[in-house]
């Protein structure tokens, strides 16, 4: 009974609109530097999700120019869960996928892996969002696994003509959430969201927040059940690469 009461309390807390607004405010209103990095991670999660949806529908991944025209990106733009997770229409209205900078001060690149480019049904990709100024800018990189990595790269290293791996883009890459998580408040909130995710999944309420267990904090408001599965919306953490808004099979 005590466990159920705790689960009920967590579910009720996360279901309150004020808590949802507080989570959103936390995500989008940190300091200027961290705020840019958090938005860069959101762009990476959005790209990974759109690529995975495109691959599921058409059997292959695409470069950024084809992704812009993909029905998968149009679906993402109109998806309510994606919007609540910060990787939907509102984010797409803030970024420029065709411009020289996806966000002010940040570049974006998506490359098909050359060793897989001829295999349209099984090809892969690597992608990066990086600070576009300075000698050692921060960057985030990912590939078709959906895992996101971060690190510093020497100026120009993200401009490989044909990168084959995350390490080509960020030679000293570490998994997202694997290094310092910011300040003690951010680390504490990340731990709380991780616990809330598993409590709410176990309780299976009518509506719940399914939260990425690494920072920047990100919660997906799923309609019924959710879990860390092999498809769905990109989280990018090693322990939860994809969040699926239904029970795992």
Q: Name 90's Cβ contacts closer than 8 Å, sequence gap at least 6.
A: 83
Do 73 and 184 lie in a common domain? no
**Residue 222 domain-assigned (yes or no):** yes
**Residue 130 domain-assigned (yes or no):** yes
| Residue 184 dihedral angles phi and psi, to the nearest 5° | -60, -30
Do 64 and 156 lie in a common domain? yes
Among residues 128, 154, 175, which one ends one of the domains?
175
Do 114 and 189 lie in a common domain? no
Do 117 and 221 lie in a common domain? no
Domain interval for residue 119: 31-175
**Residue 219 domain-assigned (yes or no):** yes
- Residue 235 in contact with residue 242, Cβ under 8 Å? yes
Q: Total structural domains in the chain? A: 2
Do 160 and 55 lie in a common domain? yes
Whole-angstrom distance, CA of residue 140 vs CA of residue 131? 9
Which strands form 233-237's sheet, in the order they lie side by side? 227-229, 240-244, 233-237
pLDDT of residue 148: 96
Among residues 128, 156, 175, which one ends one of the domains?
175
Task: Return per-residue pLDDT of the chain as tens, 249 residues.
Answer: 443 344 444 444 444 443 444 444 444 444 445 578 899 999 999 999 999 999 999 999 999 999 999 999 999 999 999 998 899 999 999 999 988 899 998 999 999 986 555 555 457 999 999 988 766 678 999 999 999 999 987 656 666 667 888 988 888 889 987 654 444 444 444 445 444 444 444 444 456 778 888 877 678 888 888 888 888 999 999 888 999 988 776
Whole-angstrom distance, CA of residue 29 vs CA of residue 127? 26
pLDDT of residue 115: 59
Least Cα distance to 111 among 131, 99, 128, 133 occurs for 128
**Residue 5 domain-assigned (yes or no):** no
**Residue 240 domain-assigned (yes or no):** yes
Do 94 and 140 lie in a common domain? yes
**Residue 80 domain-assigned (yes or no):** yes
Do 44 and 128 lie in a common domain? yes
Do 199 and 156 lie in a common domain? no
Do 171 and 113 lie in a common domain? yes
Q: Name 230's Cβ contacts closer than 8 Å, sequence gap at least 6.
A: 241, 242, 244
**Residue 120 domain-assigned (yes or no):** yes
Do 233 and 195 lie in a common domain? yes
Do 223 and 101 lie in a common domain? no
**Residue 4 domain-assigned (yes or no):** no
Among residues 122, 142, 175, which one ends one of the domains?
175
- pLDDT tens across 157-175, in order? 666 667 888 988 888 889 9
Burial 103-138 (b: 16+ CB within 10 A, else e): beebbbbbbbbeebbeeeeebbbbbbbbbbeeeebb
Do 195 and 166 lie in a common domain? no
């Amino acid at each position: 009974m005590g466990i159920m009461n705790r689960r009920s309390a967590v579910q009720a807390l996360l279901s309150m609109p004020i808590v949802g607004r507080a989570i959103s405010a936390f995500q989008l209103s940190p300091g200027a530097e961290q705020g840019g990095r958090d938005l860069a991670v959101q762009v990476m999660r959005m790209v990974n999700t759109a690529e995975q949806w495109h691959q599921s529908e058409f059997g292959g991944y695409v470069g950024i120019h084809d992704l812009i025209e993909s029905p998968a990106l149009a679906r993402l733009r109109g998806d309510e869960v994606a919007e609540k997770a910060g990787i939907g229409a509102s984010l797409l209205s803030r970024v420029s996928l065709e411009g020289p900078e996806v966000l002010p001060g940040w570049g974006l690149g998506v490359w098909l892996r050359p060793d897989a480019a001829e295999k349209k049904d099984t090809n892969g990709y690597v992608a990066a969002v990086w600070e576009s100024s300075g000698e050692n800018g921060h960057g985030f990189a990912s590939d078709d696994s959906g895992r996101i990595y971060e690190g510093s790269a020497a100026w120009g290293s993200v401009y490989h003509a044909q990168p084959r791996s995350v390490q080509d883009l960020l030679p000293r890459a570490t998994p997202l959430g694997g290094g310092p998580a910011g300040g003690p408040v951010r680390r504490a909130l990340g731990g709380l969201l991780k616990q809330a995710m598993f409590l709410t999944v176990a309780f299976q309420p009518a509506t719940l927040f399914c939260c990425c267990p690494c920072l920047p904090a990100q919660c997906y408001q799923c309609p019924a059940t959710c879990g860390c599965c092999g498809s769905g919306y990109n989280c990018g953490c090693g322990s939860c690469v994809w969040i699926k808004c239904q029970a795992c099979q």
